[in-house]
Amino acid sequence: METRSINPWTWQDHLGFVQANEVSGAQKLLLCSGQTSVDADGKPVHAGDMAAQAVQTVDNLETVLKQAGLSLANVVRLNYYVTDVDAALPALGAIGPRIAAAGCRPASTLLGVTRLAFPELMIEIEAMAVA
């Protein structure tokens, strides 16, 4: 498998994402449901703390990826759904270095939404991974 980042500009580089990822020769495509800040029983955790929820959400995403034999390095797309965009921008700083350290440079979208599945949830992350 080969991936190639498509970036007509450079402004996104310091934000940790790319405009597009071209994938060729992939053997596996994993489309992940949105992951949130829930415990192993599906109960929301870290109510009111978007940064802590972002960390737990990435923990949960890594658990799903690992179960499929993949890691954050295989992720080519992340969609972020947040209930407060202004609060999300600094909170994403809690996970940005971790994602970058894993070698993940995803195509990304950040969307503000009215609410998520449970009222306590502030962030949900959807992923696409390839291998």
Rg of the Cα trace of the chain? 14
Chain mean pLDDT for the chain: 95
Look at residue 7 in the predicted model and tell me its pLDDT. Answer: 87
Look at residue 17 in the predicted model and tell me its pLDDT. Answer: 87
120 φ/ψ sector (left φ>0, alpha ψ -120 to 50, else beta): alpha
The model's confidence at residue 117, banded by pLDDT at 50, 70 and 90, is: very high
Contact 53, 122 (CB under 8 A): yes
What confidence tens digit (pLDDT) does each residue in 68-80 have?
A: 999 999 999 999 9
Query: Which domains, from first to last, does the chain contain?
Result: 2-130 (3.30.1330.40)
Q: Which of 46, 95, 53 is nearest to 75 (CA)?
A: 95
What confidence tens digit (pLDDT) does each residue in 86-113 have?
A: 999 999 999 999 999 999 999 999 999 9
Q: Report the half-sphere exposure of 70 (CA within 13 A, side-chain side).
A: 24
CA 62 to chain centroid, in Å, comes to 10
